[in-house]
Structure 1
Amino acid sequence: MTVRTTGLPAKTCAVLLAGGLLVTLSPTPAAAAPAHTTAESGNPFVDGWYADPDTVRYGDRYWVFPTTSKVYAEQTYLDAFSSTDLVHWTKHPKVLSTPDISWAEYALWAPAPVERNGKYYLYFAANDIQNDSQLGGIGVAVADRPEGPYKDALGKPLISRFHNGAQPIDQDVFIDDDGQAYMYYGGWHHANVVKLNPDMTSLGTFDDGTTYKEITPENYTEGSFMFKRNGKYYFMWSEGGWTGPDYSVSYAMSESPTGPFRKIDKVLAQDPAVARGSGHNSVVNVPGTDIWYIVYHRRPLGETDGNHRQLAYDRLHFNTDGTIRRVEMRVRDNFADGNALGWKTYGGTWSAGGGRYRTGSSAGGKALLDTNFADLTYDADVTPQGRGGDAGVTFRVTGPGVGPDSYSGYYAGIGAGGKVVLGRADGGWTPLGSHELAIAPGSTHRLRVTAVGASIKVYVDDMTTPKISVTDSTYGSGATGVRVFGTAASFDNVAVSPAR
């Protein structure tokens, strides 16, 4: 992180730039701050398989530097992504590649960005060394611009050996308020902290003359990350196996950047309704605010390949005592980014643009998210275009295919012919309820479904009195999505959450 707030009163904000310069800024106006609850335009927020994201703010742009999530032999380059609003992302391909690093061959992992004295540094791990006789470890590259190109600064690793049992991988760089830079790193269930000298390419020593200080907390596996808020140091790490559903994030707090760090809680873990293998995170603050986001990777529920990981972010909330609340992986999509990442279509023609997800008329074309909700509250803005047919939401869906009723699950829709409908499909259609309602072609209506056990309720615009209320226990859980039948339509502001 190159921008750190110091916890001053709300009317002022002291910011320490990575070069050690302390400046006072007015807080970002509330209206301009991206106070999202999550990636409101959908997770994943960028396209492709990526992992281990580190996040930083340079000037007015947020930057994400991830690992390219492929088999080790193909992990030979690093991409970056930047955004001014955490919605629209620009891809910067191959900001660093192994041809630019004389000693690196593959397994280019966990880039950690930081700026100092007008130079941009990118720390990385390479070669996945298994012992001290192999060439590899943690290196550092440097560039004149955030997007690179980055070049190897040393011609050799900065850390090339195992110290205190820590594999030299998964580094994070943090610059404290006094200008001292630290690097936190380590795999194989051991974590170290080292001091970086002002040149950012050599290691300093601690007061006792040592270079490597072990700070391993309980259940540490890998993925170190450090940030500071209101004078407290927060050390985060990943637990479990990176290919398994138990991959997760825990944290500790300390009065010192070197610990001691005692585990407080697990803050991010898999959600069987949303994603698995959620871990290896970073944290970013909106300058001038107390708005924080956790950026991490996760594996879609339908993916079994360990490298099929995607980038996501959610809001990070703090309790009054400074501890962190457990993160809820929210499902949102307002299509403001102009894409429909994460959606899979079955029939029909679908496109995202102008802040909506659109489809032409078809006999049952649908688009689904890779979710598995049981009890849920599902909201969407639905705009049917024609007088015939209907458009709406599907839920508890399994076995989807192309065809009018080629899925198992429920559907609730509205039609410009003047009707709200609810039914279930399983290769055929079983009506469960309907309600007459004046709906004009091209008009947008808020559609809500609540499903708790066998109780299913459908609301339109009025969220206090359901238009349809039935009892049906045929389907217990499944994916969520949108669907049309005999009309073109558009969808917006999709939000799915567990029913409470």
Structure 2
Amino acid sequence: MSILGGKAVVVAGVLAATGVFNATALSASPPTYTTAEAGNPFVSGWYADPDVAIYNDRFYVFPTASRPYDQQTFLDAFSSTDLVNWTKHPNVLTTANVSWARRAVWAPAPIARNGRYYLYFAANDIQSNAESGGIGVAVADRPEGPYRDAIGAPLIPRFVNGAQPIDQDVFIDDDGQAYIYYGGWGHANVAKLNGDMTSLGTFPDGSTYKEITPSGYVEGPQMFKRNGRYYLMWSEGGWTGPNYSVSYAIADSPTGPFQRLDSVLTQDAAVARGAGHNSVLNIPGTETWYIFYHRRPLSETDGNSRELAYDRMNFNADGTIQRVTMLVKDNFADGNAYGWKTYGGTWTATGGAYRAAHSYGGKALLDDNHTNAVYDVDVTVESGAGDAGLVFRASAPAVGVDAYRGYYAGITPQGRVVLGKADNNWTPLGTAGLQVAAGQRYHLRVQTSGSTIQVFVDDLTTPKITVSDSAYGSGKSGVRVYNASAAFDNVVVTNR
């Protein structure tokens, strides 16, 4: 058995606990990414609470549609064979197919068994046992649905041990026993699922529910197993606030006890806020693990403005989890530029690059706020007498030649590397001679540390330009053209 996303899979080309996975497909498994190399968010739109599964040699992500509760009446899914290119499967479950769901459905938990696909979900956001709602289960004959209510009523309809019946996760252990973990309002429960996956079993003492709440727990439990040990992850903080985060515990039993060990994923003021409600994916037959989660872009204040992301998750020799770093990368291999915002010019993500048609000052920026960082990009100036390159520590962007406050470093076929700063005008800071051929790719790097700015081209050991300027201390990162067309690839921004 191997374990992925907390669900057991027999890697033998046969129907297993979570679906079909062909062992021959392992040779075509995705490479060991450090993050979503083609950019986070990896799909378009406001989504949250992602859970993952592998069905029929495809990776599936089932998230919440992040909207106001009365509009959150459907669930979409996304699938991929390479974790880069994603296909949207809209409306895999809607409240029209759940007779008792009258408002929001969220936090879907996928799993397969007995030749069928199950999707557990929370509905109605009940606030007491006097209300109708809780955790339901839907079933389908295909991973992408449509899913329909399996039992005509909630599977878990009431508060037990103080746990609001929401935020469920389902896990099948090596012995075939299935468990459901759930709970909001600061309490977590576990219950056994019977083999039909639509009814609850009992523990040896006759109880149906066991409270397993670890210190700091708020909501969003996630269970997975690695090397015979049980990992419980959960979210802490408020989901609409900036300090939403993920912590974890390890136990020798699927029912605990679970003692909090550390935070795994927290906000990064340079990248995103509100990172939480995660799931875990293990590439079968490997020690490659990813954490899937949602986060809020830095410029967004609406609680529902959440996007899907994933990053690599690594383990120490003793089995503890290393803290996850939210990385910033985009190689545009997915043919899109999700997460980028353009200001002037014409921009297209095609052919594995981000292409800017000729313009005077068109720029595309990320929603980040880096201070001391290393900025990397591959730049190809395709035509024009001007230049193309990196924008960094930028603020107040708008359409216009120098309509931003920040720095810019670029290369030009006129035989120069240029560095300057903008504030609705242009102030040169440095130039250096460099033979630049139109149509040839160059690797441009900028390093910032305090007031020191260094610019490198291809040779990453000796800077072409080094200056000291303290006009701008932090801001957005991106790319720009001036009197040129260009292609950009392999954008990476790393905190120093």
Q: TM-score range by the shorter chain?
A: over 0.9
Match of residue 137 from structure 1: 134
Deviations 1:432-469 (A, max 9, x none): 11111111111100000000001100000000000001
Aligned AA for 1:88? N
Q: SS in structure 1 opposite 2:70?
A: helix
Distance 1:384 1:14, change over 3 A: same
Task: Work out which of the residue numbers 195, 199, 207 in structure 2 matches 1:210.
Answer: 207
Deviations 1:40-93 (A, max 9, x none): 000000000000000111121000000000000001000000000000000000
- Measure the CA separation in 2 of the matches of 1:194 and 1:180: 11
Match of residue 242 from structure 2: 245
Aligned AA for 1:4? I
* 2:276 paired with 1:279: yes
Distance 1:421 1:134, change over 3 A: same
- Measure the CA separation in 2 of the matches of 1:207 and 1:174: 19
* 2:168 paired with 1:165: no
Alpha-carbon shift at residue 107 of structure 1 (Å): 1.4
Distance 1:32 1:109, change over 3 A: closer
* 2:14 paired with 1:4: no
Deviations 1:105-130 (A, max 9, x none): 11101000000011000000000000
* 2:326 paired with 1:292: no
Alpha-carbon shift at residue 386 of structure 1 (Å): 2.1
Task: Work out which of the residue numbers 249, 252, 256 in structure 2 matches 1:255.
Answer: 252
Match of residue 468 from structure 2: 471
Match of residue 341 from structure 2: 344
Q: TM-score, normalised by structure 2?
A: 0.97
Match of residue 67 from structure 2: 70
Match of residue 37 from structure 2: 40
* 2:103 paired with 1:106: yes
- Measure the CA separation in 2 of the matches of 1:184 and 1:125: 12
Match of residue 28 from structure 1: 26
Aligned AA for 1:95? V
Structure 1 contact 191–214 (Cα < 8 Å) conserved: yes
Matches within 5 A, 1:16-415: 18-19=16-17, 25=23, 28-29=26-27, 32-415=29-412
Match of residue 9 from structure 1: none
Match of residue 456 from structure 2: 459
Distance 1:185 1:16, change over 3 A: farther
Alpha-carbon shift at residue 256 of structure 1 (Å): 0.6
- Measure the CA separation in 2 of the matches of 1:383 and 1:455: 26
Alpha-carbon shift at residue 28 of structure 1 (Å): 2.8
Deviations 1:125-171 (A, max 9, x none): 00000000100000000000000010100000000010000000000
Match of residue 479 from structure 2: 482
Identity of aligned residues (%): 66
- Measure the CA separation in 2 of the matches of 1:407 and 1:365: 11
Aligned AA for 2:448? A
Deviations 1:306-365 (A, max 9, x none): 000000000000001010000000000000000000000000000101100001111111
Distance 1:20 1:425, change over 3 A: closer
Q: TM-score, normalised by structure 1?
A: 0.96
Deviations 1:254-280 (A, max 9, x none): 111100000000000100000000000
Structure 1 contact 20–179 (Cα < 8 Å) conserved: no
- Measure the CA separation in 1 of the matches of 2:14 and 2:267: 35
Q: SS in structure 2 opposite 1:263?
A: coil
- Measure the CA separation in 2 of the matches of 1:470 and 1:231: 54
- Measure the CA separation in 2 of the matches of 1:288 and 1:186: 32
Structure 2 contact 21–55 (Cα < 8 Å) conserved: no
Structure 1 contact 27–287 (Cα < 8 Å) conserved: no
- Measure the CA separation in 1 of the matches of 2:311 and 2:388: 29
- Measure the CA separation in 2 of the matches of 1:426 and 1:49: 33
- Measure the CA separation in 2 of the matches of 1:174 and 1:354: 40
Deviations 1:369-424 (A, max 9, x none): 00000000000000011251000000000100111111100000001111100000
Aligned AA for 1:237? W
Gaps of 5+ in 1: 7-11
Distance 1:317 1:51, change over 3 A: same
- Measure the CA separation in 1 of the matches of 2:196 and 2:14: 17
Q: CA RMSD in A?
A: 1.9
Aligned AA for 1:101? V
Aligned AA for 1:28? L
Alpha-carbon shift at residue 3 of structure 1 (Å): 5.9
Aligned AA for 2:115? G
Distance 1:347 1:24, change over 3 A: closer
- Measure the CA separation in 1 of the matches of 2:355 and 2:479: 10
User: Which deviates further from its counterpart, 385-394 or 195-204?
Assistant: 385-394
Structure 1 contact 4–15 (Cα < 8 Å) conserved: no
Q: SS in structure 2 opposite 1:28?
A: helix
Structure 2 contact 29–283 (Cα < 8 Å) conserved: no
- Measure the CA separation in 1 of the matches of 2:12 and 2:44: 35
Q: SS in structure 1 opposite 2:275?
A: strand
Distance 1:60 1:26, change over 3 A: closer
Structure 1 contact 44–312 (Cα < 8 Å) conserved: yes
Distance 1:222 1:17, change over 3 A: farther
- Measure the CA separation in 2 of the matches of 1:463 and 1:416: 20
Structure 1 contact 247–277 (Cα < 8 Å) conserved: yes
Structure 1 contact 292–315 (Cα < 8 Å) conserved: yes
Distance 1:22 1:498, change over 3 A: closer
Gaps of 5+ in 2: none
Distance 1:251 1:419, change over 3 A: same
Give the total of aligned pairs.
492
Structure 1 contact 283–293 (Cα < 8 Å) conserved: yes
Aligned AA for 1:496? V
- Measure the CA separation in 1 of the matches of 2:82 and 2:425: 44
Distance 1:16 1:246, change over 3 A: farther
Task: Work out which of the residue numbers 409, 415, 434 in structure 1 matches 2:431.
Answer: 434
Structure 1 contact 137–168 (Cα < 8 Å) conserved: yes
